[in-house]
Chains A and B, each alone.
Chain A
Amino acid sequence: MFAYSIRSIAQGLLVLVAVAFIAFSMFRFVGDPVANMLGQEATLQDRQELSERLGLNDPWPVQFAQFIGNAATGEFGVSYRQARKVSDLIKERLPATVELAVLSALVATFFGVLLGVYVAINRTGFLSNAIMSISLIGVSLPTFLIGIGLIYIFAVELRWLPSFGRGETVKIGWWSTGLLTESGRKSLIMPVLTLAFFQLTLIMRLVRSEMLEVMRADFIRFARARGLGERVIELRHALRNTLVPVVTIAGLQLGSVIAFAIVTETVFQWPGLGALFVNAVQFADVPVMAAYLMFVAAVFVITNLIVDLLYFLLDPRLRTGGRTAKGH
């Protein structure tokens, strides 16, 4: 168990360093931070002073180390475009994205597994076919169209839900939540559904195909030969074995919900990190881009670790190191 987690953590750190390198490279190659900060009018002397202060004249490994050090404390400098500290921008927008992402992930997982199991058990039948058809369309529907469609139906035509923004939020410490107000909750509904839809489709199809695969295994046949009921076999034996691979893949997928939120946030004008990133891309605002990148990488690594742990708990074969007794 110990060795297993050490390996996972080490791999995670490696990924973080690699991504940091990419982020760092962006800084060096894109634009000129000095010019961005001082504008066109600065004198040569001012520029040189700033360069020195920013450490731009040091050899690049030193700069890289400094970058990592800064990144670890959440320090990414100042946004080229908005002249505010990047860390402040992120803090401001983080809660919006996190609430959206977490809720979507929960919705997608819960319904994805439920529907996936249903469709695997009832392979024929009208409802199953309908669900599978909708899922197929779901893969072909871009997220932004779903968002636009929902807005049109529920906000413009029916006027049940707000068409953009977070509604009223309540501040708890530095976190602002939309869950405590009615308008906040109403504002969450459509974005959460939009973001969850694609994930849900994926998880559902995954659960279905894994379960169908498991149902073909020998131990399922043997369970039938022992006279165990079909329902029992499906929901106990098959499902338990299905969860093992599903957790890994689904978990990894959900880790990137934060990034998928980019589109949803744009459609609903949701003041989150995704929208911030798109803005940064449009104006080549490198500090923000770098910070976002590191953030996503961190989320990805943490999700990976959690998934590894879950996998370990679910599959007893990993606990004893997978060794089988020989002889006898």
Chain B
Amino acid sequence: MTDTVPNPGEPSRFRRIWESDVMWSFRHSPVAIVSAFVSLVMILGAILAPLYAPQDPFNPATLNLMDGLTAPGKANEFTGKTFLLGSDSQGRDMFSAVLYGTQVSLLVGAASVLFSLVIGVFLGLMAGYVGGKTEAVIMRVADIQLSFPAILIALLIFGVARGVIPPAQQEDATLLLLILAIGLSNWAQYARTVRGSTLVEKNKEYVQAARVIGRSPLLIMLKHILPNVMGPVTVIATINLALAVIEEATLSFLGVGMPPTQPSLGTLIRVGQQFLFSGEWWILLFPALTLVILALAINLLGDWLRDALNPRLR
């Protein structure tokens, strides 16, 4: 290897990351920049919703039924109020409703992704590192689960929960149940990928060295193998986030997700559907549009990330 002339003064860490291949690809991809920007805006917008939303749409005390069904931008014929994105049948401001709805959708999405990630990565590491029967069992279960649609698995878990949890506590449990159901339906991809990477890393010398020294397997897995495996995991997590958000929306739309008292975008769409055909299109359109833009932005980001981290395409 020809030695390049060493720089006088090492570049700062930030500089190195900024000039790395991944960031180069980012800076030169308008799609990545736009989708990252949009994602960030929406996520921040959702998190900070309580600070600037014109109204808390789910506090009944702030609602006035007479405000209901006002078109966007037009003044209400009874109260004279105008709503940026219109109001629904209860007089809720759609803009606020969408903001809060996005918050819930993202909350469920992110939490479930975290859940599947933890389970999937752990099982993947175990399968790859320990091998043998453990690996065979874990991989088989993962394979089978991957061929069943996530919706089905999530619905099943819901169904069982409905039967087991007494009705009084069901509404409160929904949030946790959703996270559990969606999380459990999506771990397999992480496990597969992580197992593959673990198998590769396991045979490298630094792992052998650690074993010779006598480090515990858990430590080796977490400290040595895990960092090398995080690249593909990040890609999966990003794409999975979009999937989780959509899955949650679907479940809510089907009626088994978030209730109208604490709605996610999916619930809002479900409620809005009734009004679509009677002419109040805004109750459906804005939550739907938000959902699609959110999912699209995250997906695009994930797609770009996958191409940027793919060694073969460089």
Contacts and interface: CB of A to CB of B under 8 A. Distances in A.
Contact of A284 (B148, B162, B250, B273): B162
Interface in A243-287: 252, 255-256, 259-260, 262-263, 266, 277-278, 280-284, 286
A283 to B, nearest CB: 7
A277 B153 CA distance: 12
Contact of A262 (B144, B249, B254): B254
B159 A136 contact: no
A281 B155 contact: yes
B300 interface: yes
Interface stretch (B54-62, B79-87, B125-133, B288-296): B288-296
A194 interface: no
B160 interface: yes
Given A29-B164, A30-B164, A145 B292 contact: yes
A141 interface: yes
Contacts of A282: 162, 255-256
Q: Which of B156, B284, B291, B303 has the most CB atoms of chain A within a 10 A radius of its CB?
A: B156
Interface string B62-95: 0000000000000000000000000000000000
B276 A262 contact: no
A293 B156 contact: yes
A216 to B, nearest CB: 9
Nearest to A289: B159
A189 interface: no
A199 to B, nearest CB: 11
B276 A136 contact: no
Contacts of A139: 242, 299
A104 interface: no
B148 A259 contact: yes
A142 B246 CA distance: 6
Nearest to B289: A145
Contacts of B152: 256, 259, 262, 296
Nearest to B273: A148
A281 B158 contact: yes
A145 B288 contact: yes
Q: Which of B158, B256, B273 has the most CB atoms of chain A within a 10 A radius of its CB?
A: B273
A263 B156 contact: no
B14 interface: no
Contact of B159 (A137, A148, A284, A296): A284
Q: Which of A18, A142, A259 has the most CB atoms of chain B within a 10 A radius of its CB?
A: A142
B311 interface: no
B46 interface: no
Interface residues of B, number: 36
B147 to A, nearest CB: 5
B30 interface: no
A266 B250 CA distance: 11
Interface string A144-163: 11001000100010000001
Which DSSP category, helix, strand, loop or mixed, fits chain A's interface? helix
B160 A278 contact: no
Contact of A140 (B159, B160, B254, B299): B299
A15 interface: yes
B256 A281 contact: yes
B296 A136 contact: yes
A144 B256 contact: no
A143 B151 CA distance: 12
A136 B299 contact: yes
Contacts of A76: none
Nearest to A284: B163
B269 A145 contact: yes
B190 interface: no
A140 B292 contact: yes
Q: Which of B149, B164, B277, B296 has the most CB atoms of chain A within a 10 A radius of its CB?
A: B149
B250 A148 contact: no
Nearest to A30: B163
A24 interface: no
A197 interface: no
B284 A280 contact: no
Contacts of B160: 26, 29-30, 284
B122 interface: no
A252 B149 CA distance: 11
Contact of B163 (A141, A142, A152, A286): A286
Given A140-B292, A144-B253, A281-B256, A300 B148 contact: yes
A86 B250 CA distance: 26
B276 A143 contact: no
A286 B155 CA distance: 12
B159 A142 contact: no
A283 B160 CA distance: 10
A26 B266 CA distance: 28
A142 B284 contact: no
A285 to B, nearest CB: 8
B256 A140 contact: no
A165 to B, nearest CB: 15
10 contacts: A15-B144, A30-B159, A136-B296, A136-B299, A139-B299, A142-B249, A256-B149, A277-B155, A282-B256, A293-B156
Q: What 5 pairs across the A-B complex have the smallest Cβ distances?
A: A30-B163, A284-B163, A140-B295, A281-B159, A140-B296
Interface of B: 144, 147-149, 151-152, 155-156, 158-160, 162-164, 242, 246, 249-250, 253-256, 266, 269, 273, 276-277, 284, 288, 291-292, 295-296, 299-300, 303
Given A263-B151, A263-B250, 19 more contacts: A18-B144, A29-B164, A31-B163, A136-B296, A136-B300, A137-B292, A140-B296, A140-B299, A141-B292, A142-B250, A142-B266, A144-B250, A144-B253, A145-B291, A252-B147, A256-B152, A281-B158, A282-B162, A284-B160
